[in-house]
Chain A
Amino acid sequence: MRALGPAEVRTLPGAFGDPFRALDVASGVTPILSGFPYFYVRGAPPANVGYFLDGVRVPYLFHFGLGPGVIHPELVATTELHKGGYPAAYGRYAGGIVSGTTTAPRDRVRGSALVRAFDAGALAEAPFADGKGSALVAGRYSYTAALFSLLQSDTELDYRDYQARVSYALSPRDTVSLLGFGAYDLAAERGDRAPVPGGRRVLFASEFHRADLRWDRRLAGGGRARVAATVGLDRTRVEARRFASDVVTGARAELEQPLSDIATLRAGADVWIDAYASDPLERFADDDDVVLRQQKVFATRVDFATGARADVVVRPTRELEVVPGVRADVYGSAGERAFAVDPRLAGRVAVTKGLRIVHAYGLASQPPSSPVALPAVSIARLEGGLQRAFQTSAGVEVDLPYDLTAGAGVFHNAFWSMNDALGSSQRELLEIERNQELFDKSQGSALGLELEVRRKLSKRVTGLASYTLSRSTRALNGRRFLAAFDRPHVLNAVLSVDLGRGFRAGTRVVAYSGVPVSTVAPRFAEERIATPPSRTPTFVRLDVRLEKRWRIGQTGYISVVAEGLNATLSREVTGYLCAPVIARAGSTVTPPACVADAVGPIAVPSLGVSGGF
């Protein structure tokens, strides 16, 4: 089904008006933890989900934890979640693809501002040179650091992001533009907890910056071409003085050219070079095995990826569209090399005016990845080889009465040689980085049914619902088991009502199954340990949103929005703690029952005022 439009995103409760935070409402998306923008897509782990803005790879699109997206919402024209079998333009990830595009340069002055309890953001855009050029700046600044200072806290939390774009039409067919954007996140200790007076102990800090210079040319016959060069800097600093930086340089060429009335060629080639510099854990800074393992992640080296891709959109009739494609990529990391050819095939058949059948198949490859994507942090030397996925899906889309659109589909993804420490172990993230599971290569499978129904936003009462029934398994060391984040049922239901006089109220229900729980084997014969439930309980939360919007003139507005993620203050059980007891052989000691390990409630209340023209 089509992606959510900007207006739909704005009214989605719990997304805080952020297009990228609205993605998890789609079917096929399995959350790891309520509210956090890290999710499995059709069984593929978070680190196998690639993020692109205007074709530029970025390490993440969300500020850390519960933070908002890193791109100003009004700069985002479209956001799409490609769940599998996606166009050949996207590659080097073996899971889903989150792609965003920026709005086209405007020929008029526009601006907007948003002030919330925890951050503020603004965007301004103005044409120049008689409309040939356009300049835009946007940014967001969190004043949580200042709030924490007022509270005399020894903790420092900070995030901010920026975007800037200048474009200029050299001719009616040629436009050059420079897009720069970046984001910054920090969590640190200071004050009494600082290692030196006035100093700071960094717990987590990351940033990325991108500058993308493009030349776009409209071609004869309705085609278009883009040549672009990108430079970037990624940096991450985590506790125990670990630090990594990545100087990113890349170039790409893209072509989209109708070949005939029924066929359009889409092709491209690119090369990306990542020059990593790292300060790994120093000797004795942690357990010896952890130090050795971390040196494979925080490693100074040069990586590259280059490749070419092409697909053809073939529309022999109005009812039929077939898109065969292929991409070939070469990967290199510190002397190691890998090569992948990933064919893709997608099709859409309009059986009747209101009924369409869609299919998508594809191979996808990805270099080894760490459990969560962090700027400049990745597994070096292609250790264990490329991750591979074979993605298949088929479904129908139906136009229904009352402006409803419904979709139903099935998918099956098979994974090989995947780095999914999150899914193949039941350890917490901080424990994974200390264990060999960080490098384990598992096989996997995800099978599911997706249902979606949506009503147009233009209606007074609108909404959407998505449901996923799935099963995700892993195989590791000769053992097959349910993936740690296998959630058989995931439901999102959104209802938004225009109450008149500029008021709009909305609510969203998120419900999903618990995760499987493994029994813990006694470590020795005399240890007794209780058996936990086979799965954590179902989690349900309710998000709410109420907006009052005043229109000012033709394009202006002011709105006040009260919004809450997890208004029900639901707590999420993430596992069970089972305390063993020790008993002599033959004795009948009953171990204590397992205790639910719950987090939260993770809730985000927000009150904001925004305006624009």
Chain B
Amino acid sequence: MVRRLGFGCVALLAAAAACIPDDDAPRLGSVAFTFGASRLTTAGFNARTMADGWTVTVTRVLLSYDSVTVSETTDGDASIPGLVISDRKCAYRGRGARRHVVFDPRFGNLQTLNGMEPGECPDVGFVLEAPGVDTEPGLGATGADVAELAADPPAVALFEARASRRGKSVEVKLRFDRARSPSAFTACQVATGVGLSRGVVVRAGERQQLSFQFLAESLFRDDIGGAFLRFDPWERADVSFGDGDGVVTMSDLDAVPLTAVRGGPYTLASGSRRGTFGDFVRQQLGYAFGYLDTGFCSPSASASR
């Protein structure tokens, strides 16, 4: 009896002394996203770049940046019933990422997502959001800039430029309010020799380098994918529809029916021309972000509010 009890006790001890188990969690990787600006945004548009002979110099760009977004599925696919999206894959554990920041893309911003599980994350994008409780000024921005974007109505971007032609000078001061401007950008992709490459493949123990660029030129295009950059309609918005003070504002653009804009297709993404020139320019902000060297990001269908 005592011997049996002894064996029992030893068995109990052996069970109690179990060792900690192995961890099946995979090794982790990293993706670094740099945010910059196109050469035209930085250097300006000369008279040959613009179809109507204007020269444009970008004087101020501020983006109220929330975060990069990386996920397993594209924005639209997320609504597919039964589609399981892992809360681990494409998530990251690093917190040193530069997010919730107002910055000038000409000065740049770096957000690094560290500690990501390896795998394919086909949907890469980013979100602009009006300044919130976590927002700080980043490169090229001040607290006053943050306050300006946060002021009612809150905005996701400010864009200012100076255009001149034959001795005439016009200022541009645009405020892209949060309610009507695209703010979520998804499905960033780039053409490769074998087709379109979307998103990023996270590899264990490696850091992928990716980049976004702000393309100021997109705002001056005469169509979504239009080849021509024009400033005449902008000047006309101030002179013929606005207050003629030599400063083109979003109010001036909103006073111009899209049907009254001359010199190019100027159609909305829906194919319609119902709306204002302001609606068109706000739409163009959705196509003003490039991905890697030659790729692009698209405005999320659910992003326009």
Contacts and interface: CB of A to CB of B under 8 A. Distances in A.
Contacts of B12: 122, 137, 139, 141, 162
B275 interface: no
A584 interface: yes
A194 B94 CA distance: 20
Given A160-B16, A290-B94, A284 B133 contact: no
B85 interface: no
Nearest to B203: A284
Contact of A137 (B2, B13, B133, B146): B13
Given A239-B25, A241-B23, A434-B95, A524 B133 contact: no
A201 B21 CA distance: 10
Interface string A181-213: 010101010000111100111100111010000
A339 B136 CA distance: 47
A31 B117 CA distance: 38
A579 B206 CA distance: 37
A526 interface: yes
Contacts of A243: 23
Interface in B136-151: 136-137, 142-144, 146-148, 150-151
Interface residues of A, number: 57
A579 B133 contact: yes
A161 B20 CA distance: 13
B114 A288 contact: yes
Contacts of B148: 584
Interface in B23-53: 23-30
A332 to B, nearest CB: 28
A207 B21 CA distance: 10
Contact of A290 (B10, B17, B96): B96
A120 to B, nearest CB: 10
A220 interface: no
B258 to A, nearest CB: 33
Given A193-B88, A286-B114, A584-B147, A137 B142 contact: no
Nearest to A128: B2
B93 interface: yes
A289 B96 contact: yes
B91 to A, nearest CB: 12
Nearest to A579: B133
B21 A160 contact: no
Contacts of B83: none
A162 B14 CA distance: 9
A287 B24 contact: no
A188 B21 CA distance: 10
Given A205-B20, A207-B20, A524 B142 contact: yes
B143 A162 contact: no
B27 A287 contact: no
Nearest to A204: B20
B298 interface: no
A357 B88 CA distance: 61
Given A526-B143, A582-B146, A201 B115 contact: no
Contacts of B191: none
B264 interface: no
Interface string A245-289: 000000000000000000000000000000000000011111111
B205 A184 contact: no
14 contacts: A139-B16, A140-B16, A193-B87, A195-B25, A200-B21, A200-B22, A201-B24, A207-B19, A207-B20, A241-B28, A284-B115, A583-B147, A584-B147, A584-B148
Q: Which 9 A-B pairs have the closest CB atoms?
A: A524-B143, A199-B24, A287-B96, A284-B30, A526-B147, A162-B16, A205-B20, A582-B150, A526-B143
